[in-house]
Structure 1
Amino acid sequence: MSDQAAARILSFKNAGKSADEMRRRRQEGQVELRKTKREETLQRKRNFPAAGDPVDTEVEATGKSALLNLEAIVANASSEDPAVRLLVVQSARKLLSSDRNPPIDELISAGMLPKLVSCLTSDDPNLQFEAAWALTNIASGTSSQTLAVVHAGAVPLFLKLLSSSHPNVCEQAVWALGNIIGDGPVLRDYVIQLDVIKPLLKLLTPNIPLNFLRNVTWVMVNLCRNKDPPPPASAIRELLPALLYLIKHTDDSILVDTVWAISYLTDGGNDQIEMVINAEIVPHLVPLLSHSSFKVQTAALRAVGNIVTGSDQQTQVVLDCGALSHFPALLTHPRDKINKEAVWFLSNITAGNQSQVQAVIDHGLVPLIIHHLSESEFLTQKEAAWAISNLTINGNAEQVRYVIDQRVIPPLCKMLSTRDVQVVQVVLDGISNILAAAGDNLDQVTTAIEECGGLDLIESLQEHQNMDIYRLAYDIIERYFNEGMIDDSNTASGVAEGEHLGNFISQVPTTFQFDADQCNTDTTGGFDF
């Protein structure tokens, strides 16, 4: 690439911007918009149903009369007769375990919460269990219902029950705390401040029952969830060794939750990404990109995708673990969601340095990206447009010419017909960068753009209402398609080239966050925290 062309690309797109800054700009500007359209992958709260309990069918069938007896339930909850008290709490629990409209607000209004919380201090493990179960289901409701449980003083008592010698009581306390933590960052941090993590991690022993371990893992997901604000750094440091332990497990459910916990942490910025890297989790995470479970694959792809939105050095850690070797299969996966996130991942790699761009080329992934640009659903095409545009920005002249040789111009130009303003900007940026890097092949490139109908589309975009798109299109036409009208020292508007470009071209960010050697995955033996 000539010095003039190189200087033009810098002024056109990246003046004064490092690769890390470009990556962060797109991350901050686009991630929330993208993520608001995704469904929540994991439940924040879980109701504990009364499966298989014959009394539940009776309660459901006579729900109306049961609700009329709420005051009687509350009145008898403080009975001195242990059998009566247990029966009343159990009746309340059964009402709350109904799948259809459990009377949570009615029980709260009737004053049942303090009665249930007081039962957590009982010496009777059956009463503790029933009360914890009822409170778990109240906490699975709305934020105000969850907050009512907290205000009733339940959290410190649940924390004490984590050390109960009765496994069912302990597990129910775990479940209740998971619902409270899952309400959001305020209650999450409140429970963390009460020191939930240490007793929770003590439960991770070799002989913990599988279902119990699944619940503990789910609570850890909720501890890692939310990034506004993120969990305290001290809490993350406590959790990471446990996540390293759990990512070696063979149970799909535990793997899914563990990897989503990691994805939430890596969605919190470069400092949290660095903590995950330092915990040596990445070599165990990358192989999961080829896991047999679609859910595990999806979670792993989101987690590594978040990591590569970090610095070039953090991105390189993922690449050094052999991540790109998994992508031919991911890019040809039968599920569109996997394709889209795989291309999104690669768009963040092509936003890196030239060595990382070359790694994408060397693994034969560019033709697959171009295929998705041409043939896939729009959201995947959009990611492919980012991937190609980023490559034209960060690649050298030889790498850009390689993309040209892969016949990228027709599908890239076709994307100019979309109504998505951001995509049109990204594509125009890519086309302009390709033209700037064409060198002796400029005539070939301009001919290809004209023959595929791209020139007509670019000309029409000079009438676009968006000023940035208008200026991008106008600049391309003036520079490359109006013979004899270009003066190297001036633009069409008569201002200096650098000034013209600085004013004309919007700074479109280049990456955003969505969601190795095989290491020993032996989970036998204990885990010492």
Structure 2
Amino acid sequence: MAAGGSAELCEAALNTAPHLIQFLDSQNVALVDQSAWALGNIAAEGPKFRDRLKDNGVIPPLIKLLESKEPAVISEAAWVVVYLTSGPDNVSTQLLEHRLIPLLVGPLKDFLELKALAIPLIRALGNIASGPDNNTSELINEPGFLPSMLQLIQSDCRPVKKESLWLMSNIAAEHTGADLQKVIDAGFVPVLSQIATHQNFDIRKEAAYSLINLAAHGPEYVKVLPHHELLPGFLDFLRTKDHELISLGLRYVQLLLNSGIPDAPALLSEMNGVDALEAVILSDDRDQHRLASLLMDTFFGENNHGSRVPTPIPGTPDPNLFNSSADDGSSSLPPQYLKRASFSAAV
């Protein structure tokens, strides 16, 4: 079918979109499946194609398919939703007004054992969570969402686990304290901590994003994390040659040292963290070298007397972004939440 080919063919296939959308109402399951597949491929070509599909009225029949009792039909419809919601600012008010979030969340509990069929549901929800905070808040407060996600991040299906962890990393970037507390109360911190320290690096990285996003909201959230368990794993990140892992490791160490936890520098020293930071100082990456050097000079320099000096994040030229707290000299970090709009991060 043209919709599975080049952009030029997809452009031509747009002329068939009204018919494909009409076929979504068919009683022929195979026809519905193929039509949804074609529409998904068209939507994947970019914003212009997505907008044309929306203008042609694709949303109402998609919503109807998401209300189906057939897992395969729901999954195929969800793939179209994935592409309609991909990229920044593509979750239209129109989609959300059609109760998209409850329709995507509702089947999750039934898809826990269906593995691959759950992926488009998770990815569509991840796209929504990568948008404005009110979308993320709506997800957190949707009945059944957090319990289902707690199970999905522990799935033995690797793609499901990675997609779910990516989604939770965007959830952890939510700015509302009450919503973040619901994530904590639901039991995510110990599970994410276990994943961040006991899986392969690619899986650990996804869990690390969630924990760092949570901690970036302030010292009170840093103190929620089990640092004796987590620190060795994040120091492992510093010892790799992977740029992204090193950046995550530095970010965690920075959050920990700036949190005001009294024994944080001693804990880092005890776990050979100074050696790990010194290894990063030798890095060819200027930003990583600069931050590792600053952390060393601030907390482990010869003239250091235990003061808490704010340490800027690489790429943040203005150190005044960090405001010192009043009494204990510890610094509060600026918001540096790492929302990732592209679902490719989870693949």
Match of 1:385 among 194, 208, 227: 208
2:338 to 504, 510, 517: 510
Task: Give the match's secondary structure for 1:270.
Answer: coil
The corresponding residue for 1:480 is 299
In structure 1, C-alpha distance between the alignment counterparts of 2:223 and 2:192, rounded to whole Å: 16
Q: Is the 8 A contact 1:343 1:383 kept in 2?
A: yes
Residue 225 of structure 1 corresponds to 44
Question: 1:375: how far off?
Answer: 0.8
One-letter amino acid of the structure 2 residue matched with residue 320 of structure 1? N
**What does the per-residue CA deviation read over 1:114-168, in whole Å, with 9 as the maximum and x for residues that have no partner?**
xxxxxxxxxxxxxxxxxxxxxxxxxxxxxxxxxxxxxxxxxxxxxxxxxxxxxxx
Distance (whole Å) between structure 1 residues aligned to residue 310 and residue 24 of structure 2: 67
* Structure 1 residues 391-402: aligned runs within 5 Å: 391-393=214-216, 395-402=217-224
Q: 1:213 to 1:396 in 2, by over 3 A?
A: same
Instruction: Report if the CA contact (8 A) 1:259-1:296 is conserved.
Output: no
Change (3 A) 1:210 1:445: same
Please point out which of 454, 457, 464 is paired with 2:276: 457
What is the CA–CA distance in structure 2 between the aligned matches of 1:381 and 1:321, rounded to whole Å?
27
Instruction: Measure, in 1, the Cα distance between the counterparts of 2:3 and 2:23.
Output: 18
Larger-gyration structure (1/2): 1
C-alpha distance 184-285 of structure 1, shift in aligned 2 (>3 A) = farther
Pick from 463, 466, 486 the counterpart of residue 285 of structure 2: 466
Unaligned runs of 5+ in 2: 322-334
1:308 pairs, out of 119, 129, 134, with 129
Deviations 1:327-357 (A, max 9, x none): 2211221122222222211111222214243
In the TM superposition, what is the alpha-carbon distance from 1:325 to its structure 2 partner?
1.6
- TM-score, normalised to structure 1's length? 0.56
Question: Counterparts of 1:490 and 1:282 in 2: how far apart (Å)?
Answer: 43
**Is 1:436 paired with 2:264?**
no
Q: Which residue of 2 aligns with 1:181?
A: 3
SS at match of 1:402: coil
Aligned pair partner of 1:361 in 178, 184, 193 = 184
Query: Do residues 203 (structure 1) and 23 (structure 2) align?
Result: yes
Letter in 1 for 2:249: V
**Cα contact 1:354–1:396 (8 A) shared by 2:** no
Match of residue 331 from structure 1: 153
Matches within 5 A, 1:50-449: 179-192=1-14, 194=15, 196-205=16-25, 208-227=27-46, 229-237=47-55, 238-290=57-109, 291=111, 292-322=113-143, 323-355=145-177, 356-393=179-216, 395-404=217-226, 407-437=229-259, 439=260, 441-442=261-262, 444-449=263-268
Q: 1:239 to 1:481 in 2, by over 3 A?
A: same
How far off its partner does 1:249 sit? 1.9
Query: Could you tell me whether the CA contact under 8 Å between 1:263 and 1:302 is conserved in 2?
Result: yes
- Which of 1 and 2 has higher RCO (CA within 8 Å, sep 6+)? 1
Residue pair 2:192, 2:207 contacting (<8 A) in 1 also: yes
Distance 1:320 1:481 in 2: 43
The Cα of 1:209 is off from its aligned counterpart by 2.3
Distance 2:131 2:53 in 1: 21
Shift in Å, 1:284: 0.9
Q: Give the Å deviation of 1:216.
A: 2.4
**Deviation of residue 446 (structure 1)?**
1.6
Contact 1:385 1:423 survives alignment (8 Å): no
Q: Secondary structure at the match of 1:233?
A: helix
Distance in 1 between the 2:123 and 2:186 partners? 20
Contact 2:119 2:160 in 1 (8 A): yes
Quick one: distance in 1 between partners of 2:190 and 2:102?
Answer: 27
What is the rounded CA distance, in whole Å, between the counterparts of 2:249 and 2:41 in structure 1? 39
Q: 363-372 or 323-332: which moved more?
A: 323-332
The whole-number CA distance in structure 2 between the counterparts of 1:431 and 1:477 is 11
- Structure-2 separation of matches of 1:245 and 1:490: 56
List per-residue Cα deviations over 1:209-243 (Å, max 9, x = no partner). 2222222222222232222x442524225111111
Q: 1:419 offset after TM fit, Å?
A: 0.9
- AA aligned to 1:511 is K
**Separation of aligned partners in 1, 2:218 and 2:308:** 24
- How far is the alpha carbon of 1:483 from its aligned partner? 5.3
Q: Could you tell me how far 1:405 is from its partner in structure 2?
A: 5.6
Q: Are the equivalent residues in 1 in contact too, given 2:155–2:161 (CA < 8 A)? A: yes
- How many pairs are equivalent? 322
Distance (Å, rounded) in 2 between the aligned partners of 1:306 and 1:491: 33
Match of 2:239, as an amino acid?
A: S
TM-score calculated relative to the size of structure 2? 0.83
Deviation of 1:487 (Å): 10
- Contact 1:462–1:473 under 8 Å retained in 2: yes
Instruction: Specify whether residues 483 and 188 from structure 1 end up closer, same or farther in structure 2 by C-alpha distance, changes over 3 A only.
Output: same
Identity value in percent: 22
Q: CA deviation at 1:486?
A: 6.5
Coordinate RMSD, CA, aligned: 2.9
